[in-house]
Amino acid sequence: MKTAALVLFAGRLAYGFAGLRDLKARAAVLEGRGTNELIGDLATLRDDQLTPTGRSIKSLLTGGGIPEELIDHYIFTPAIDSPQCKADTCCIWKHIADDMKSMMVGSAGRCNDLARQCVRLGFHDAGSWSKSTGRGGGADGSMVLTNECFDRPINRGLETACTQLAVWHDKYKQYGVSMADLIQFAANVATVTCPLGPRVRTYVGRKDNPTPSPDGLIPDPFQSADQLISLFLDKTISPDELVALVGAHTTAQQRFVDPARAGDPLDSTPGVWDVRFYGQVRSSFTPRRVFKFPSDVSLSRHPDTRGTWNLFSGLITGQIPWNLVRNNRLGPPRPFWFKG
């Protein structure tokens, strides 16, 4: 497996850390335990039958390539309606990214509530897919287009993000931007607005679906580790990858699991994309306001996930392998790339 680039901050820490080689070796072992399972055209077509984008995605899903983009930046962005912007496929997305970022960063320079909701929204739109349900669901925009945000109790707390995505879609659909792409793009922009958040490659080209996605495929915070492991294996995500995925709770705040504690974070630094979440779920001395989902506690103790959870728990010794595994094996997870 080819190891992903570290986020810049973690990279600076890493080269001064004596145990880096051991941590990278342990992360490589976790990478090797991923499913590498392909779906759709990636599983049925030969490489020479895939588009360049399809080949790139396939490479990332099977451990090749680098999922982060740390080099390419716009020095100057052409005006949105200029011939130069129209000739550049990525130009419109730079304008959208700047628009989104301006609304996702709080006064302290950290990701805010809208950013947190957009990260969760990206998963909820993509996560409504599984192998056992066949075609339908996945990252298809149905969360907003079919009102799933408001109609399904599992999506409570996403109303602000869904309303804002509808506003952005009305603004940018004239440029050929789909709701499906916009939701996943917002999740990636939201992630990078958080300090330590990785700048993950974003792929576009998803088609919108005006039909509601299959219900019952989004995890809830009361499920056991066994239930979650089974649910995510059906999405081609292994137990180790599941542990890396739930690390996104590092920026989360709960509002409906315990309404009396609405607004409480799932770790003590909800504006930073760090690994405090893992250690604080396990700890008996967690700060008073930190809220623990029963599902997270169950995963931290299960024999199939406990070792990986412990690996990610150190502030430095955990941040490095988490970056490597999450970005290279998931970043973003498989369902985020596909419409079933």
Q: Do the Cβ atoms of 23 and 321 come closer than 8 Å?
A: yes
Task: Report how far residue 47's alpha carbon sits from residue 276's, in angstroms, rounded to the nearest whole number.
Answer: 40
Q: Which of 95, 124, 249, 302 is catalytic?
A: 124
Is 124 designated active site?
yes
Just list the catalytic residues: 124
